[in-house]
Chain A
Amino acid sequence: MADIEGTILNIIAEKAKVERTGLSRTTELRGLDLDSLDVVEIFFEVDEAFDISLPFNANEAASVESARFKTAGDVIDLVTEQVALQSGRKTA
């Protein structure tokens, strides 16, 4: 799954305007300078890159208790899961 990880980190690096080398699975998303539109755009770019529809609602992400997307790794895991799920659905 290296290419999922690489693609996602590239997208995050581009939106957050940071060096790609500074990002890893453990990078905390809140520590990056991302506003709510950046986050929505990141999910759009990821959807486009993998031809999937991620179940992501900005309202849930905005709620205080939301810990679903704390790190870049959380996004990578969701995408990995959804790519398997949604590509299975396409070939079924």
Chain B
Amino acid sequence: MNRVAVTGLGCISALGPDRHAMAAALAEGRSGIGPLDPTLADRLLIKIGAPVRDFDPAAHFEEKRLALLDRCAQFGLVAAREAVTASGFDFRGEPGLRSAAIIGCAVGGMNTLDESFLRLYGEGAKRLAPLTIPKLMFSAACSHIAMEHGIRGPVFTVASACASANHAIATAFQMVRAGAVDAALTGGSEAVLTFGTLKGWEAMRILAPDTCRPFSRDRKGLVIGEGAAIFVLENLDRAKARGADILGEILGFGMSADAADIVQPSVEGAAGAIRACLSDAGLVPQDFDYINAHGTGTMANDATETKAIRTVFGAHADRLAVSSTKSMHGHSLGSAGALELAATLLAMRGGFIPPTANYSEADPQCDLDYVPNRARQGRIGTALSNNFAFGGLNAVLAVRG
């Protein structure tokens, strides 16, 4: 079995256009949550989100190509470029045959879908743009990333709602570890801040009207975000041999399903994925010092996740730092796990522990050390990154800096 290194990282989110901006925001505990564009907010009850701001597609893509790219694919491509450049790994030519691109995406090209259906049903248009379908398909981001970098091995998208990115990263990790490929581009991309999508979320009545306050007693729900984070994974020995800058090592993953309820989370399901991850990585609770929690800011998730962590980590749970960076980059669904792995790796590199922003009040049901509001100086050695999804789909990664 091969060891698997992360040699490149790229990201775009409410915390900024690249990894440097994200690292700075995390270290400052600065949240990217804020007002939505008035054209959206005017017709919504929930008027906040975590949007990618000041993004100019024309600065990244030629006009002709833009006609093919939903915002979701644009984010994925921008993050992938940054990751590949940072890694110094060239996928083109021979290496592309022995490489994978496996990207998480929960809902696909919603901007394209929303605009198209508005034209069709709302404005009575008789026809849609000819490239509507390849633009909105779930796998569009993944296909464009593979095309741009010449990746010709296993290329596919993973959809498991809010756990999509962790399932994707785990699958890519497994392929590199098993030797099925030598390298992979993996992560997640999502762009769901559209009127139609947000009306759907609004109807569930689980969006916070104020901000995202994970684990805080006065939490009122989640805040939808958008963005992408993409990683270059490589066989560790090969990465060392070429003198790559190694950001971290993926040690293992665990997956489980609650098989119980379409929205309510289960302690046993979450704990099962965490346990499976420790077992896959060959680690024990005492090996860990940080968990990047799923921490959505809903009543149900945060209490359940806390119990799951206590169930697996026992007394060591009180020695863990646990934070939810969704309090800063929002919940970007299919790319959430990727942004959270990025946050974890950037914090490891930066020598700090990212906080849970907007935390205001202790909740007896959430009694761990959530690193409230201010980042802490200190080295994270080994960490978990949790992702749990509607439908009870759980995926957990273990990583070492």
Measured in the bound complex, the distance between the Cα atoms of B206 and A35 in whole Å is 15
Are the CB atoms of A43 and B299 closer together than 8 Å?
A: no
Q: Are B263 and A57 in contact (CB under 8 A)?
A: no
Closest residue of chain A to B217 (Cβ to Cβ) is: A63
A43 to B202, CA, bound (A): 12
* Known A-B contacts A59-B219, A59-B221; A40 and B204 likewise in contact (beta carbons under 8 Å): yes
Task: Return chain B residues, CB-CB under 8 Å to A60.
Answer: 220
Question: Are B264 and A57 interface neighbours, CB within 8 A?
Answer: no
Bound CA–CA A7/B250 (angstroms): 56
For B185-213 the 0/1 string (1 means CB < 8 A from A) is 00000000000000000011111110000
Asked if residues A59 and B208 are in contact (CB atoms below 8 Å), the reply is yes
User: How many Å lie between the Cα of A56 and that of B219 in the bound state?
Assistant: 14
Kindly identify which residue among A35, A53, A56, A59 contacts B298, using a CB–CB cutoff of 8 Å: A59
- Known A-B contacts A57-B206, A59-B299; the reply to A36 vs B263 at CB < 8 A is yes
Residues of chain B with a CB closer than 8 A to A56's CB: 205
Q: Cβ of A53: which chain B residues have Cβ within 8 Å of it?
A: 45
Contact of B206 among A55, A58, A63 (CB under 8 A): A58
A92 at the interface (CB under 8 A from B): no
Q: Is the CB of A57 within 8 A of B205?
A: yes
Question: Does any Cβ of B come within 8 Å of A62's Cβ?
Answer: yes
Contact B205 A40 (CB under 8 A): yes
> Does B133 reach chain A (CB closer than 8 Å)?
no
- Decide: B203 and A44 in contact? CB cutoff 8 A: yes
Give B1-46 interface residues, CB cut-off 8 Å to A: 45
Closest B residue to A47 by beta carbon equals: B203
Number of B interface residues at 8 Å Cβ cutoff, please give it. 18
Number of interface residues of A (CB under 8 A): 15
Residues of B within 8 A of A62 (CB): 299-300
Interface centre among A35, A44, A53, A58 (most CB of B within 10 A): A58
Main secondary structure of the interface of A (DSSP, over half): helix
Q: Does A37 contact B (CB under 8 A)?
A: yes
Given A36-B263, A36-B264, is A58 in contact with B45 using a C-beta cutoff of 8 Å?
A: no
Q: Which of A53, A55, A60 has the most CB of B within 10 A?
A: A60
A59-B206 in contact (CB<8A): yes
A35 to B263, CA, bound (A): 11
A57-B221 CB under 8 A given contacts A62-B299, A62-B300: yes
Residues facing B in A38-67 (CB within 8 A) are: 40, 43-44, 53, 55-60, 62-63
Name which residue of chain B comes closest to A40, CB basis. B205
**With known contacts A36-B263, A37-B263, A58–B204 Cβ distance under 8 A:** yes
The answer for the CA separation of A87 and B5 in the assembled complex, in Å, is 60
* A63 pairs with B299, CB closer than 8 A: yes
Residue of A nearest to B219 (CB): A59
Name the B residues within 8 Å of A58 (CB-CB): 204-206, 221, 299
CA–CA, A35 to B220, complex, Å?
Answer: 19
The docked-state distance in angstroms from the alpha carbon of A31 to that of B334 is 37
B365, closest chain A residue (CB): A64
Task: Report chain B residues within 8 Å CB of A36.
Answer: 263-264, 300
Q: Which A residues are CB-close (under 8 A) to B220?
A: 57, 59-60
* Nearest-neighbor residue (CB-CB) of A63 within chain B: B299
B281 CB → nearest A CB, Å: 33
Chain B's closest residue to A37 (CB) is B263
- A57 CB contact (under 8 Å) in B209, B262, B300: B209
Query: 8 Å CB contacts to A: which residues of B281-319?
Result: 298-300
**Complex-state Cα separation, A35 to B203, whole angstroms:** 16
A35 and B261 CA atoms in complex are apart in Å by 11
5 closest A-B pairs by CB: A62-B299, A58-B205, A59-B221, A59-B299, A59-B220
Given contacts A40-B204, A40-B205, could you give 14 more A-B pairs where the C-beta distance is less than 8 Å? A35-B264, A36-B263, A36-B300, A53-B45, A55-B45, A57-B205, A57-B206, A57-B220, A57-B221, A59-B206, A59-B219, A60-B220, A62-B299, A62-B300
Chain A residues with CB under 8 Å of chain B are 35-37, 40, 43-44, 53, 55-60, 62-63
What are 24 A-B pairs with beta-carbon distances under 8 A?
A35-B264, A36-B300, A37-B262, A37-B263, A40-B203, A40-B204, A44-B203, A55-B45, A57-B205, A57-B207, A57-B208, A57-B209, A57-B220, A58-B206, A58-B221, A58-B299, A59-B206, A59-B208, A59-B220, A59-B221, A59-B298, A60-B220, A62-B299, A63-B299
